[in-house]
């Protein structure tokens, strides 16, 4: 049994659309596969280093939340990128936007009043969810070992293949090694979610 540590940056503030549920999804899938995990809330580089995290998560926040978080940790997007040079990480929506900007690339024009269901290509598979911008061609991309997605909310719940790709990378096992009765049940339900949303595309 492996015990993983998931660090979450400003977990309470950057959870505008239920983004933190992505860590819950990873934890549940790990538990079902017989492994354990803990979540380390971090609000500074020192706390991140102290956490000895295997994986780093950055969510989506309101304008005021970001202002408060960045006042406390001005280099958080850059530190996120540095972390993801060597370990895997996930940033969603406005979190992804800030990390992309820190990488020197042009961030998307975020418009949270856009809540558009989309289906895109990612890592030779499909990924679906709700995005807050129509100014990017593809909702999800990789920068270093980080997955940046402009899909918000519980992205990994609706995309179990992406969740298992993260976990299999962390555990150095095949995604097939994570399959069990619970994940099969989830797969069936997710098929229903995809079926419901696909005709809109």
User: Which residues contribute to the site for another protein (CB under 8 A)?
Assistant: 13, 15-18, 21, 24-25, 28, 62-65, 67-68, 111-115, 130, 152-154, 157-158, 182, 185-186, 189-190, 192-193, 195-196
Comparison of 143 and 162: residue with beta carbon closer to another protein: 162
Comparison of 13 and 82: residue with beta carbon closer to another protein: 13
Compute the least distance from the CB of residue 143 to another protein, in Å.
23
Neighbours of 152 (CB within 10 A): 24
> What strands, in cross-sheet order, belong to the sheet with 36-42?
36-42, 3-9, 55-58, 88-92, 146-149, 140-143
Compute the least distance from the CB of residue 8 to another protein, in Å.
14
Q: How far apart are CA 118 and CA 129, in angstroms?
A: 6
Comparison of 114 and 173: residue with beta carbon closer to another protein: 114
Comparison of 65 and 81: residue with beta carbon closer to another protein: 65
| End-to-end CA, the chain | 41
Q: Which sign, positive or negative, has the C-alpha torsion 46, 49, 54, 55?
A: positive
Comparison of 26 and 143: residue with beta carbon closer to another protein: 26
Compute the least distance from the CB of residue 7 to another protein, in Å.
20
β-partners of residue 57 are 8, 90
Compute the least distance from the CB of residue 73 to another protein, in Å.
14
Compute the least distance from the CB of residue 30 to another protein, in Å.
12
Annotate 26-39 with DSSP letters as a single string.
Answer: HHHHHHHTT-EEEE
């Amino acid at each position: 049994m492996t015990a993983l540590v998931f660090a979450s940056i400003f977990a309470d503030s950057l959870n505008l659309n239920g983004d933190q549920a992505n860590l819950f999804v990873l934890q549940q899938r790990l538990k079902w596969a017989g492994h354990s995990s803990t979540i380390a809330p971090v609000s500074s580089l020192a706390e991140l280093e102290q956490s000895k995290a295997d994986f780093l998560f950055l969510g989506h926040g309101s304008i005021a939340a970001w202002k408060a978080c960045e006042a406390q940790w001005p280099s958080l997007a850059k530190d996120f990128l540095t972390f993801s040079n060597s370990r895997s990480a996930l940033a969603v929506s406005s979190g992804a936007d800030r990390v992309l900007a820190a990488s020197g690339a042009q961030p998307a024009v975020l418009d949270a009043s856009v809540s558009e269901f989309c289906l895109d290509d990612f890592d030779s598979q499909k990924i679906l969810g709700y995005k807050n911008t129509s100014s990017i061609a593809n909702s999800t991309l990789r920068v270093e070992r980080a997955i940046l997605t402009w899909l918000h909310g519980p992205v990994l719940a609706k995309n179990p293949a992406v969740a298992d790709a993260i976990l299999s990378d962390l555990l150095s096992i095949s995604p097939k090694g994570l399959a069990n009765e619970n994940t099969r049940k989830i797969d069936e339900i997710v098929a229903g979610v995809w079926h419901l949303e696909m005709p809109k595309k």
